Chain A
Amino acid sequence: DTEVTQTPKHLVMGMTNKKSLKCEQHMGHRAMYWYKQKAKKPPELMFVYSYEKLSINESVPSRFSPECPNSSLLNLHLHALQPEDSALYLCASSQPLRTGSRETQYFGPGTRLLVL
């Protein structure tokens, strides 16, 4: 099973709203990722969690706040977003590198976010 699930599939929010995106995997992967993707462009890395600890933050604005409650779950909390934050938000998982495993990331279906 190589499934990563994400909820919700679609989200519309105003600039003053607070919302959360959720991601779950049951592959035993200990590295999880958030990406942002604009139409017809490659995914852009936002955050990396390794063993439930934040290991990479790609200079993402603080209005995006990630959280990894346990090894299977990854959240992205959204607050005071801007219209330009509208995009497809993708979650991915893999085995962390220090296990000597191969660097293969599996993606979820994404959350299509529209900020009005």
Chain B
Amino acid sequence: GQQLNQSPQSMFIQEGEDVSMNCTSSSIFNTWLWYKQDPGEGPVLLIALYKAGELTSNGRLTAQFGITRKDSFLNISASIPSDVGIYFCAGPVNAGGTSYGKLTFGQGTILTVHP
């Protein structure tokens, strides 16, 4: 099936440091989505990528859709304590060129920021 391998599983960083996480797959994706989830809350969409090679920023966040369409990365610059949470990549499941409205998720990156 279409699985997403997300790494690292967890990160412990100092406030002000930059963060990088990525997702890879053996399958091609047409869309990459990056979500952040705070404890006890639902995932919040950070960045959506729709085109191979696309580089998109949202404040201190930057994400890229890999040119092979099999990977994506998310960077956070100058981290702050409120960046703490779990970050998930996600992409739509495709079968025979048809998407069914199902998302597959990476296993998540747990980010801890020390003040």
Contact = CB atoms under 8 A, between A and B. Distances in A.
Q: Do A and B bind each other?
A: yes
Interface of A: 2, 4, 6, 31, 33, 40-43, 45, 48, 50, 55-56, 88, 90, 94, 96-97, 102-110, 112
B45 A104 contact: yes
Contacts of B48: 102, 104
Contact of B101 (A2, A90, A96, A107): A96
- Most chain B CB neighbours (cut-off 10 Å) among A31, A94, A104: A104
Contact of A107 (B42, B92, B106): B42
Interface stretch (B13-21, B33-41, B55-63, B73-81): B33-41
A112 B42 CA distance: 10
Contacts of A55: 100-101
Contact of B108 (A6, A31, A41, A103): A41
Contacts of A6: 42
A58 to B, nearest CB: 8
Given A41-B108, A88-B40, A103-B92, A56 B101 contact: yes
B71 to A, nearest CB: 18
Contact of B40 (A97, A108, A112): A112
A112 B40 CA distance: 7
B42 A90 contact: yes
Given A103-B92, A104-B31, A2 B100 contact: no
A42 B106 contact: yes
B45 A2 contact: yes
